[in-house]
Structures are given as structure tokens and as C-alpha cells.
Amino acid sequence: MLYSLVEMNRVVMAPMRLAARAGRAALASPLNPLGQTSYGKSLSAMADVFESATRYYGKPEWRIDSVRINSVPVPVTPTPVWRSPWCQLIHFRKDADVFATTQRKNAAPLPRLLIVAPLSGHYATLLRGTVEGFLETHDVYITDWSDARMAPVWLGRFDLDDYIDHIRRMLTELGGGAHVLAVCQPGPPVLAAISMMAEDGDPALPASMTYMGSPIDARRSPTVPNKLSEERSFDWFEQNMIHTVPAPYPGMLRRVYPGFVQLASFMNMNWNRHVDAHWKFFNHLVGGDGDNAAKHREFYDEYLSVLDLTEEFYLQTIQRVFQEHHLPRGIYKYRGERLVKPSVIRDVALMTVEGEKDDISGIGQTQAAHDICTGIPKEMRTDYIQPGVGHYGVFNGSRFETEIAPRVTQFTRRFTKREAEDAAAKR
């Protein structure tokens, strides 16, 4: 019912959005003298804020066309190289001819990096800054998860263990010796996938794994979302957070955790900050400050674009990760049968990154990976806490670019070199 009401509201608001857009266009006309007055500018700004706040935001574009390597702009094309109904693996393919001109003769290929984007409400494009931060130094791939409301019910279920299967398949696609970077939500399932690969002696095992702002053990430094997950019963989440996709979406009748519910939860955590941001946006528009207005649009065009999660994936994540803490307690069973053992990992280097002010994954939650991956030698571990940043600052923004990304790059280079030396020794 809630989903249908939201869709009805969107339809009802459509004429008002069109009217606001038309009014804004009329006020922007150089033939309209009212548009040049303070009153006219305020009216135009009000229409702009209203239209942008009530608009339907679809999946954003990557908008990554090139990367600068040794002062040379190298064209980049986001290209799907593997896909399933639930995800596609995007390769940010560099133009081979131009890229070759930036490299020394006989230079080693760039290390392969799989960025595992969160499946928690936003599209993978939220990690655009993360991708850009590694394009110069890595051969970058990213998981681009599908929107459950676009998945017909005949496709069947997609749960937490299916997510683990997808990680293994994509690592197999990349081949052994790649590097994995899991941002936020993917931490536990990625660690579970690599644990099973290590136990199986899988040749596609990565050389390193990095976890950033991830709830490996959500019992540590619990944040508001963590506390909510434990205070509410599993039945409460099932009864209040799950809704049915209405027509005309391809996934109609599928039970999902809607993206708009997740978005509302995120915005309520920092409601005053969002209200203040829109007030500043209004003033920037009135004052003709195009640069700051454009920055606001860029952020919220991405932030307000959300996707739905399948019922089974969401509820299993709530139960196994946030309520019962299966992985750190050593009781996670893949498909209910196979016990996941992070302690068997020995040849995969481990790095954890946390933000000092993270209000989603508190300090210590990501570091917990070191405590459960007991088989990894001390010299193959790195832990870093970034001062002064919150959750999003761990994988986006100026401090990510200047302080976090270079540390991760140094880490992956060290173990890319080790992988190459081991391979040479075997030959």
C-alpha cells in the first residue's frame, strides 16, 4: 500500500512540477522584466527548489570520460564485461593506444581492482569519486547492482548467499591476483566469499582485500542505525520495511525494501543538515551563485537516486549482520550448511579503513576483520583511521583523494609486487 501511495503522490505532483518548470523558464526569459527583480529571482529559485525536491530521479550516468595519466588525458569507456539479472560488472576500459603512450617500455600492467559497491539503496554511481580516485593507478572494475523493482518475479529470489556467489563469479572473471575493495555493506559477504575461496584453494583468490567503513562486527561502537537494528525485532522489519512493487514496474508484485524508505531513513538522521543545504541552494540561486548551485545539484541528483532491495536480501542482512552478528561470532553458514571460516585465509593481504566521525559504521566495526582473519600474517595487515571524516568521506571527497586513496594504492602495489615475485619463483 505504501509503495502505491508514493507512486500516486508522484503522479499527482507531476502537473505542479511542470507548472514550476514552466514558471522558472518564463522568469528566466530576457524578455520578462520581472525575472530581473529580487522578487522574480526569489520566485524562480522557489520553483527550482520545488521541482528538484519532488522530481523522480532515475539511475545516474557514470560521467567518467577520461583519466589523466602522466599529464596525458586517456579516454575511458565504462564497459559491461559480465552480467547476471542482478548485477553487471563494469570495466572502466582505458583507450589502449593512448594509455600505451603514458607508460614506460615493458612496464607491468596496472593492478586489477574490483570495487564492490554497496547494495543498500543507492546506485553504484555513488562511488564515482572512488572509481576516479583509483583510475590512474589501477585497472578498475565495479559491481553495478540491479534495481529489484525492475526484476520480474519470474527471475526468482536474490538473497545474501546469492550476493556471495556473485562476488565469487566476478573474481573468477578477473582471475587470480586481483585486489578487492569493499565499501560499507559488502564487507561481510565479500569476506565470506574470500573465506570460502581460500578454503577451496580457488585459483581466482585475490592478492588483497580492503574494507572501508564496513559493518564486519556491528556490535562495536554501535551507531544509531546499529541500535535501531537491535532494538526492533526481526518481525518488525518484516512487517514495516517490506512493501510490494506496484504496476507498471517490471517487478510488480515482488516484495522489496524500497529505496525511498532507505533514503527517508538516511535523511532523517541528518534532517537539519539537509534543510540547511536546500536553504543555501535557494540563496545561491537568488544570488546567481552558479558554481555552488551546481555543486548542490550534482550531490543531490546522486543522493536522491535510489534502488530497491529484494525482501530476502534485506531481511537476511538485518538478521545475520546487524542482529545476530554471524560472521564475527563464527556461526555464519552459507546456504544454511557450510560454515564460513575467515581464519583459513592466509595468502590474502588485509587492509581496513575507517572514518573518525563515521555515524553509520562506528570505529572498530571494520577493524574487526583483523580479529577474525587470524591466519593472515601480521606483515600482511594494515589498519588506517582517517581523522576528521564521516561515512561518505571514507570513499569520496578531498581527504579520500589526498590521504586514503594513496594509502590503498601503496598497499595494493606492495602485494601486486609480491604476487609477481611469487609467480616468478614458481616458474
Q: How far apart are CA 329 and CA 322, in angstroms?
A: 12
Share above pLDDT 70 across residues of the chain, in percent, rounded to a whole number:
97
Which residue type, as a one-letter code, is found at position 393? G
**pLDDT band, residue 307 (cuts 50/70/90):** very high
The residue among 147 and 421 whose pLDDT is bigger is 147
Grid coordinates belonging to 331:
556461526
**pLDDT band, residue 337 (cuts 50/70/90):** very high
Least confident of 143-147, 343-347, 360-364, 417-421: 417-421
pLDDT at 226 over 70: yes
Grid coordinates belonging to 142:
565495479
pLDDT at position 426:
53
pLDDT at position 62:
93
Q: How far apart are CA 208 and CA 419, in angstroms?
A: 10
Grid coordinates belonging to 342:
575467515
Grid coordinates belonging to 393:
568521506
**pLDDT band, residue 348 (cuts 50/70/90):** very high
pLDDT at position 184:
94
pLDDT at 422 over 60: no
Residue with cell 517490471: 250
Q: Which residues contact 141 (CB under 8 A, 6 or more apart)?
A: 81, 89, 90, 91, 92, 112, 113, 114, 115, 170, 174
Grid coordinates belonging to 97:
593506444
**pLDDT band, residue 154 (cuts 50/70/90):** very high
**pLDDT band, residue 374 (cuts 50/70/90):** very high
| Whether CATH 3.40.50.620 fits 66-236+309-426 | no
Per-domain boundaries in the chain = 2-56+259-303, 66-236+309-426
Residue pair 357/326 in contact (Cβ under 8 Å)? The answer is no
Least confident of 82-91, 103-112, 378-387: 103-112
pLDDT at 37 over 70: yes
CB atoms within 10 A of CB 95: 14
The mean per-residue pLDDT over the stretch 57-85 comes to: 92
Q: In terms of DSSP bridges, do strands 243-244 and 338-339 run parallel, antiparallel, or are they unpaired?
A: unpaired
**pLDDT band, residue 312 (cuts 50/70/90):** very high
CB atoms within 10 A of CB 253: 11
Grid coordinates belonging to 420:
609477481
The mean per-residue pLDDT over the stretch 122-143 comes to: 95
pLDDT at position 25:
80
Q: What is the largest CA-CA distance in the chain?
A: 79
Q: How far apart are CA 157 and CA 155, in angstroms?
A: 7
Backbone angles phi, psi at 231, to 5 degrees: -75, -35
Q: How far apart are CA 43 and CA 20, in angstroms?
A: 10
